[in-house]
Amino acid sequence: MSLKDYEASFLDYVRKMLNIEEAISVLYWDLRTGAPKNAVSQRSNVISQLSADVYKMSISKDMAHYLITMEEAISAGKCSLEVEKTVKYLRKQYDRNTKIPVDEFEAFVKCQAISESVWAEAKEENNFAKFEPYLTEIIEYKRKFVEYLGYKDCKYDTYLDQYEPGMTVNKLDEVFSEVRNKLVPIVKAVSTSGKNFEKEEMKAFVSTQKQKEICEQLLASLGYNFDAGRLDPTPHPFATSLNLGDVRVTTKYHENNFEKALFSTIHECGHALYEQNISKDLEGLPIAQGASLGIHESQSLLYEKIIGQSFEFWKANYPKLKEQLNGVLEHVSLDEFYKVINNSKPSFIRIEADELTYPLHVMIRYEIEKDLLDGKIQVSELPSIWNQKMEEYLGIIPETDREGVLQDVHWSMGHFGYFPTYALGAMYAAQIKATMEKELPNFSELIETNDFQTILDWLKVNIHQYGAMKEPQQILKDVTGEELNVKYFVDYLESKYTKLYELEEVNKS
Q: How many residues does the chain have?
A: 509
Only one of the segments 13-21, 79-87, 107-115, 478-486 lies at the binding site for its own copies (rule: CB under 8 A); that segment is 13-21
**Alpha carbon distance 507, 491 (integer Å):** 10
CB of 29 to its own copies, least distance (A): 8
- Per CB under 8 A, the list member of 77, 103, 200, 209 interacting with its own copies is 209
Q: Report yes or no: 358 and 418 within 8 Å, Cβ to Cβ.
A: no
**Is residue 220 at the binding interface for its own copies, with CB under 8 A as the rule?**
no
Helix (H, G, I), strand (E, B) or coil at 243: strand
11 binds its own copies (CB under 8 A): no
Among 133, 150, 245, 481, binds its own copies (CB under 8 A): 245
Q: Does 396 bind its own copies (CB under 8 A)?
A: no
At 231, phi and psi to the nearest 5? -115, 130
- 54 part of the interface to its own copies, by CB under 8 A: no
272: contact with its own copies by CB under 8 A: no
Nearest CA among 430, 406, 492 for reference residue 126: 406
Query: Quick one: 147 or 213, whose CB is closer to its own copies?
Result: 213
Beta bridge partners of 144: none
Tell me how far apart the alpha carbons of residues 249 and 162 are, in angstroms, rounded to a whole number: 24
- The neighbour count for residue 87, using CB atoms within 10 Å, is 23
Query: Would you count residue 37 as binding its own copies (CB under 8 A)?
Result: yes
Q: Rule CB under 8 A: is residue 235 a binding residue for its own copies?
A: no
Q: Is 207 in the site for its own copies (CB under 8 A)?
A: no
Say which DSSP state 464 is in: G
Distance from C-alpha of 441 to C-alpha of 446, rounded to nearest angstrom: 9
Binding segment for its own copies (CB under 8 A), chosen from 38-46, 119-127, 333-341, 497-505, is 38-46
User: Does the protein bind its own copies through residue 23 (CB under 8 A)?
Assistant: yes
3-state helix, strand, coil in the chain (%, to 5): 70, 5, 30
Alpha-carbon separation of residue 286 from 46, 247, 462 (angstroms): 22, 15, 20
Would you give the binding string for its own copies spanning residues 430-469, x where CB under 8 A is met? ----------------------------------------
> Does 45 sit near its own copies (CB under 8 A)?
yes
Check if 22 is active-site.
no
- Residue 9 sits in the site that holds its own copies (CB under 8 A): no
> Edge-to-edge strands of the sheet including 239-243?
231-233, 246-251, 239-243
Give the nearer residue to its own copies in terms of CB position, either 40 or 114.
40
Output the CA–CA distances (angstroms, integers) from residue 72 to 69, 98, 99, 420, 468, in the order listed. 5, 21, 22, 36, 22
The window from 42-50, 123-131, 168-176, 260-268 that contacts its own copies (CB under 8 A) reads 42-50
* Active-site position among 7, 84, 164, 268: 268
Q: Catalog residues that contact its own copies under the rule CB under 8 A.
A: 15-16, 19-20, 22-23, 26-27, 30, 34-43, 45-46, 49-50, 209, 225-230, 242-246, 248, 283
Mind telling me the catalytic residues? Answer: 268
